[in-house]
C-alpha cells in the first residue's frame, strides 16, 4: 500500500483537493451550485446571515396549546408551583439539575416551562448545561429553541464550554441550519467546536460540506491542524462516504505524520474507508498493523470482507476473532449470520445463534432480525417464526423479513395475514413492506389481493408506488397470461419504465411463449443494459425460437465483437461445514464415481415418474455446453453428493450461480418426492423450496 505522500502535499497532490486554490473545481466535481462557499474567511463569516428561518428571526415561539389537565395533573402542577414559590432560584436550579441527573428529562423541561411562566428568574451555567442534556436526551427541537431563547434573552455570557454545549445540542438534534448560525456567532472556536460541527455534517451525510469546513479549519486554525486526531478520523469517514480513496489515503498520511498509527479510532475508520472504497487489501494491512485489535476493529474488517462478497474469508476472520478471545458483541453475530445466509451455511449459523444467546444478546433486535432472515430464506420457516415471536420488540425490518420469507416460499396467504397483523399492531408499513407482500402475492398468484394492497398504498398509507412495485404487478398479470394488460401497465406507469419492469414482462413472455412481445421487451433491455450478457442470450434464444436467423446471427456477431461469453454455471453445497463446488459435467471431486452412480440411479427412478429430458431452453443464463449435458448439470451433481453424504432426514441447501434451468427444475421436484427430502436452491433469480414434487415458485421464475 502506497502511503508515502508527505504532509505538505496534502493540498496539492490529490485531484479532489484542487478546490483549495480553485473552488470551481469542487463545484464542477460535486455539483455544488447554490451552496454556501466556505473558502474565504470573509465569505464564510457572513455565509449564514442569508439563511432564512434562523434563530434570529424566531427568537420567541408561541407556547404549545395545552389540553385541559385532569384533577391529578392539576394537583401536580399546583404542587410544583408551590415548590417554585417557596424556593429560591438556586433551589429551583438544583431541582432541575437533580431531575436531569436521574434522566427524568421530561420533568426537568416541565419545571423549566413553569419557570419561564414566572419570568425574571436567572439560571446559572450548570442549570443550562443540565437543560441542554435533557434536550439532547429527548431530541426535542422545541426544547432546544426554548432553552436557547431563554439563554439569549437572559443576557447570559457564555464561556467556551457552554458555547460548545449549545452547538452540540443543535447538532445532535439535527438542527443544522441553526447549528451553523451558532457556530458562526461563536467568538472563539477550539478543536471541540470544529469536531462537533464537522462531525454533525458527516453524520447527516453532507460529506462535501464537511470537507469544505475541514479545509477552512486548516486555514483559520493552524494550531489545531495537527493536535487533534479525532477530526481526522471523522474526515476519513467522510472519504468513505464519498468513496474517494485518494482523500482517505492522504488523511492516512496525516495520521502517520502525527504519530497516530496506533490510535484505535483512527485505525477502525481507515479499515472502514478502505473497505468501502474497494481496497480490502489495504484494509487488511491497517488491521494487521493495529497493536491492539478491538471488537470494533474485528467487526469492521469482517464487515469489509462481507461487503465485497468474500464470505469465506469473513467467516475465517470470525473464527480467528473467537480464537483470540476477543469479546464479541451483537454486531459481530449479526454480520456472521448474514454471511451464513449468503453461504447457505446452516451449521455455522446455528453456532452463531448459540453464541448470540450465550453472550447475552438473545433478545437483540438487529441480530434476531438477521436470524429470522436466515432461517426463513433457507426453508426453516418454523425456526424463523419461533425467533420472531420471541422477540420482545420488533421493528419494521423484522416484519419485512418474515413477510418476504413467507412469500419466497410460496406461502402468500400467510404473508398477507402477517401483513394485516402488522398493521393491526400499529406498525406502519414502508415501501419495502409493500414490496415483500406484493412479491408474496405474485409468487402465489393472489391477483385480487395483490391489487387491493397495491391500490391501498397511496390511499391508506401515503406510500407512493415505485418502479419495483409496478414490476410486481406486471409479473402478477404475466403469471395469469394477461400479457397485453401487463404491457399496458408499463406504458401507463407515471415514470419511465425501468429494467425490472421490462424484465418482468420478458419473464412472462418466456413462460407463455409470446415471442413477438418477448422480442420487444428483450430489445428494450438490450438497449438499457448493452453490456449485460444475459440480455444478449435471451434475445438470441428468442430470435432462434421465432425463426429469425438473420437477427440471431447479428446478435452472435455482437457477442464476438464485444468478447462476451457466459461463465459456466456452478453450484455449491455445504456438508459438515465444508463447502463443495460443482460444475456441469464435473469429474474433479474425490467422490466422483459415487456421485455419478447415485445420480444415474436417481435419473432412472424419476424417469419412471414421467421425467423426460428437455431440449432447448429459453433461460438467459444457460449456455450451449450445459444444454449438451442435461443429466449432469451442476445442480444435480451437488444434490447427488448431498444425498450420499447426509442422513435421510437432512434437508439440502444449495446455491446456484445462474438461474436454474427448467430441466433441472423438473428433475429436482421429482428427486425431492422420491427421496422424501426438502431441497432449497437459491439461484440467480430467487429461492426455490422443493418438497413433495412441488416448488415454492409455482413453476414461474
Q: Report pLDDT digits (tens) over 272-309.
A: 999 999 899 999 999 999 988 999 999 999 999 999 98
* Average of per-residue pLDDT values in the chain: 82
Q: Rounded to whole angstroms, how far apart are CA atoms 381 and 273? A: 37
The pLDDT value given to residue 700: 74
Stretch among 377-381, 566-570, 580-584 having the lowest mean pLDDT: 566-570
679-682 and 652-656 strand pairing: parallel
Contacts 24+ apart (CB under 8 A), 45-50: 45/184, 47/180, 47/184, 48/177, 48/180, 48/181, 48/184, 49/184
Q: Are 235 and 225 in contact (CB under 8 A)?
A: no
The cell for 285 is 494491512
546, pLDDT greater than 50: yes
Is 32 exposed, middle or buried, given 0-12, 13-18 or 19+ CB atoms closer than 10 A? middle
Q: How many CA atoms lie within 13 A of 551 on its CB side?
A: 17
Q: Which DSSP string corresponds to 622-640?
A: --HHHHT-GGG-HHHHHHH
Q: 171: exposed, middle or buried (C-beta count within 10 Å: 0-12, 13-18, 19+)? A: buried
Task: Please tell me the predicted confidence (pLDDT) of residue 560.
Answer: 80
CB 457 within 8 A of CB 464: yes
Mean pLDDT, residues 57-86: 49
Q: What is the pLDDT of residue 584?
A: 87
- When pLDDT is cut at 50, 70 and 90, the band that residue 617 belongs to is low
Residue recorded with cell 451483537:
330
pTM over 0.75: no
Cβ atoms of 663 and 614 closer than 8 Å: yes
Is residue 272 within 8 A of residue 240, CB to CB? The reply is yes
d(CA 322, CA 329): 11
pLDDT of residue 71: 57
pLDDT at 194 over 60: yes
Residue range 661-690: mean pLDDT, rounded: 89
16 CB-contact burial (10 Å; exposed 0-12 / middle 13-18 / buried 19+) = middle
Residue 517 CA from chain centroid, whole number: 36
Nearest residue to 638 (alpha-carbon basis) of 621, 654, 617, 623: 654
Closest CA to 155 of 183, 180, 123: 123
The dihedrals phi and psi of 681, each to the nearest 5 degrees, come to -125, 125
Residues of 87-98 as b/e, b for ≥16 C-beta within 10 angstroms? eebeebbbbbbe
Check pLDDT > 50 for residue 486.
yes
Q: Taking 50 as the threshold, does the pLDDT of residue 531 lie above it?
A: yes
Write the CA distances from 250 to 206, 217, 270, integer angstroms: 20, 17, 11
Select from 73, 350, 38, 382 the least CA-distant residue to 214: 38
Mean per-residue pLDDT, 99-106: 92
Q: What is the pLDDT of residues 647-672, one digit of tens each?
A: 988 999 898 888 888 889 999 999 99
List of residues 6+ apart from 358 with CB closer than 8 A: none
Name the residue with cell 427412478.
Answer: 605
CA-CA-CA-CA torsion sign (597, 599, 603, 605): positive
101: exposed, middle or buried (C-beta count within 10 Å: 0-12, 13-18, 19+)?
A: exposed
* Of the candidates 416, 470, 480, 418, the residue with the CA atom closest to the CA atom of residue 447: 480
Bridge partners for 655 per DSSP: 572, 682
Strand order in the sheet with 578-583: 578-583, 570-575, 652-656, 679-682, 687-691, 694-695
Say how many Å lie between the first and final Cα of the chain, rounded: 45
Q: 88-188 — its CATH code?
A: 1.25.40.10
* 3-class SS of residue 681: strand
% of residues, the chain, pLDDT over 70: 83
And the C-alpha cell for 434? Answer: 409493500
pLDDT value of residue 11: 39
Confidence of residue 222 (pLDDT cuts 50, 70, 90): low
Q: Characterise 69 by phi-psi region: left (phi > 0), alpha (psi -120 to 50), beta (else).
A: beta
pLDDT digits (tens, 9 = 90+) for 117-130: 766 677 888 999 99
What is the band of 63 on the pLDDT scale with cuts at 50, 70, 90? very low
Asked if residues 298 and 332 have their Cβ atoms less than 8 Å apart, the reply is: yes
Residue 644 reports pLDDT greater than 90: yes
CB neighbour burial string for 134-146, b if at least 16 within 10 angstroms, e if fewer: bbbbbebeebbbb
DSSP category for residue 226: T
Query: Has residue 333 got a pLDDT over 60?
Result: yes
| Band of residue 203 on the pLDDT scale cut at 50, 70, 90 | very high
Q: Which residues contact 190 (CB under 8 A, 6 or more apart)?
A: 160, 164, 224
Backbone angles phi, psi at 694, to 5 degrees: -130, 160
Is residue 193's pLDDT more than 70?
yes
Contact 251, 235 (CB under 8 A): yes
The pLDDT of residue 511 = 81
Coil vs helix vs strand at 551: helix
Whether the Cβ atoms of residue 149 and residue 60 lie closer than 8 Å to each other: yes
What letter would DSSP give residue 582? Answer: E
Helices (H), ranges, 513-621: 515-528, 533-545, 549-562, 592-607
What's the alpha-carbon Rg for the chain, to the nearest Å?
Answer: 31
**Residues 6+ positions from 585 with CB-CB distance below 8 Å:** 625, 629, 632
Confidence label for 80 from pLDDT (cuts 50, 70 and 90) = low
Q: In whole angstroms, give the CA distance from residue 84 to residue 78.
A: 10
- Give the CA angle between residues 302, 304, 305 to the nearest 5°: 70
Task: Look at residue 68 in the predicted model and tell me its pLDDT.
Answer: 54
- 336 Cβ contact list (under 8 Å, min separation 6): 302, 314, 315, 318, 348, 352
pLDDT digits (tens, 9 = 90+) for 500-529: 999 899 888 888 888 889 889 988 888 888
Which three three-digit cell numbers place residue 442?
405474485
| Cβ 681 vs Cβ 701: under 8 Å | no
Q: Could you give the CA distance from residue 388 to residue 394 in angstroms, rounded to a whole number? A: 8
Q: Which residues are bridge partners to 573 per DSSP?
A: 580, 654
Q: What is the pLDDT of residue 673?
A: 93
Quote the CA–CA distance of 377 and 689 in Å, as a whole number.
9
Taking a C-beta distance cutoff of 8 angstroms, is the pair 334, 366 a contact? yes
Amino acid at each position: 500500500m502506497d502511503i508515502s505522500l508527505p504532509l505538505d502535499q496534502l493540498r496539492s497532490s490529490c485531484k479532489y483537493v484542487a478546490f483549495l486554490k480553485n473552488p470551481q473545481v469542487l463545484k464542477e466535481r460535486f455539483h455544488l451550485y447554490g451552496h454556501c462557499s466556505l473558502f474565504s474567511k470573509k465569505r464564510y463569516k457572513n455565509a449564514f446571515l442569508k439563511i432564512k428561518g434562523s434563530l434570529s428571526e424566531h427568537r420567541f415561539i408561541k407556547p404549545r396549546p395545552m389540553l385541559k389537565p385532569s384533577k391529578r395533573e392539576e394537583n401536580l402542577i399546583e404542587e410544583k408551583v408551590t415548590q417554585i414559590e417557596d424556593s429560591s432560584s438556586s433551589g429551583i436550579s438544583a431541582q432541575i439539575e437533580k431531575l436531569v441527573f436521574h434522566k427524568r428529562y421530561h420533568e426537568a423541561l416541565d419545571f423549566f416551562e413553569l419557570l419561564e411562566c414566572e419570568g425574571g428568574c436567572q439560571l446559572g451555567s450548570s442549570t443550562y448545561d443540565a437543560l441542554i442534556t435533557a434536550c439532547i436526551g429527548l431530541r426535542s427541537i422545541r426544547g432546544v429553541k426554548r432553552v436557547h431563547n431563554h439563554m439569549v434573552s437572559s443576557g447570559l455570557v457564555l464561556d467556551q464550554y457552554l458555547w460548545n454545549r449549545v452547538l452540540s445540542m443543535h447538532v445532535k438534534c439535527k438542527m443544522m441550519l441553526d447549528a451553523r448560525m451558532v457556530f458562526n456567532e461563536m467568538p472563539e472556536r477550539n478543536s471541540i467546536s470544529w469536531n462537533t460541527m464537522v462531525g454533525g455534517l458527516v453524520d447527516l451525510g453532507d460529506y462535501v460540506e464537511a470537507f469544505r469546513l475541514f479545509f477552512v479549519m486548516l486555514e483559520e486554525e493552524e494550531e489545531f491542524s495537527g493536535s487533534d486526531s479525532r477530526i481526522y478520523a471523522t474526515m476519513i469517514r467522510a472519504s468513505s462516504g464519498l468513496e474517494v480513496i485518494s482523500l482517505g489515503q492522504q488523511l492516512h498520511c496525516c495520521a502517520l505524520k502525527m504519530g497516530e498509527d496506533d490510535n484505535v479510532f483512527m485505525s477502525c475508520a481507515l479499515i472502514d474507508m478502505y473497505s468501502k472504497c474497494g481496497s480490502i487489501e489495504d484494509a487488511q494491512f491497517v488491521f494487521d498493523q493495529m497493536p491492539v485489535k478491538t471488537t470494533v476493529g474485528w467487526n469492521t474488517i469482517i464487515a469489509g470482507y462481507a461487503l465485497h462478497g468474500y464470505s469465506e474469508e469473513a467467516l475465517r476472520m470470525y473464527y480467528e476473532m473467537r480464537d483470540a478471545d476477543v469479546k464479541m458483541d451483537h454486531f459481530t453475530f449479526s454480520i456472521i449470520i448474514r454471511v451464513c445466509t449468503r453461504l447457505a451455511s446452516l451449521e455455522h449459523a446455528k453456532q452463531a445463534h448459540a453464541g448470540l444467546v450465550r453472550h447475552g444478546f438473545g433478545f437483540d433486535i438487529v441480530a434476531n432480525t438477521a436470524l429470522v432472515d436466515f432461517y426463513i430464506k433457507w426453508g426453516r420457516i418454523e425456526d424463523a417464526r419461533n425467533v420472531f415471536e420471541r422477540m420482545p420488540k420488533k421493528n419494521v425490518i423484522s416484519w419485512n423479513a418474515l413477510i418476504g420469507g413467507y412469500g419466497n416460499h410460496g406461502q402468500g396467504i400467510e404473508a398477507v395475514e402477517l401483513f394485516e397483523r402488522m398493521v393491526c399492531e400499529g406498525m406502519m408499513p414502508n415501501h419495502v413492506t409493500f414490496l415483500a407482500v406484493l412479491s408474496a402475492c405474485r409468487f402465489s398468484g393472489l391477483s385480487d389481493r395483490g391489487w387491493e394492497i397495491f391500490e391501498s398504498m397511496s390511499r391508506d398509507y401515503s406510500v407512493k408506488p415505485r418502479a419495483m412495485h409496478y414490476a410486481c404487478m406486471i409479473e402478477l398479470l404475466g403469471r395469469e397470461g394477461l400479457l397485453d394488460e401487463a404491457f399496458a401497465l408499463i406504458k401507463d406507469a407515471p415514470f419511465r419504465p425501468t429494467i425490472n419492469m421490462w424484465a418482468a414482462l420478458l419473464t412472462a413472455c418466456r413462460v407463455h411463449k409470446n415471442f413477438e412481445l418477448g422480442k420487444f421487451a428483450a430489445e428494450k433491455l438490450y438497449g438499457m443494459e448493452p453490456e449485460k450478457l444475459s440480455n444478449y442470450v435471451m434475445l438470441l434464444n428468442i430470435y432462434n425460437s421465432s425463426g429469425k436467423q438473420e437477427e440471431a446471427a447479428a446478435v452472435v456477431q455482437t457477442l464476438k465483437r464485444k468478447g462476451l461469453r457466459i461463465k459456466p454455471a456452478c453450484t455449491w453445497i455445504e456438508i459438515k461445514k465444508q463447502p463443495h463446488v460443482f460444475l456441469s459435467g464435473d469429474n474433479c471431486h474425490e467422490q466422483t464415481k459415487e456421485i455419478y452412480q447415485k445420480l444415474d440411479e436417481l435419473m432412472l427412478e424419476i424417469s419412471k415418474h414421467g421425467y423426460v429430458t428437455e431440449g432447448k431452453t429459453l433461460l438467459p443464463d444457460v449456455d450451449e455446453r450445459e444444454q449438451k449435458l442435461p443429466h449432469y448439470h451442476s445442480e444435480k451433481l451437488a444434490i447427488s453428493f448431498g444425498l450420499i453424504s447426509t442422513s435421510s432426514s437432512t434437508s439440502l441447501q444449495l446455491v446456484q450461480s445462474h438461474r436454474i434451468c427448467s430441466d433441472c427444475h423438473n428433475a429436482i421436484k421429482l428427486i425431492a418426492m422420491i427421496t422424501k427430502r426438502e431441497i432449497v436452491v437459491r439461484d440467480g433469480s430467487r429461492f426455490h423450496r422443493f418438497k413433495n414434487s412441488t416448488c415454492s415458485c409455482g413453476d414461474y421464475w
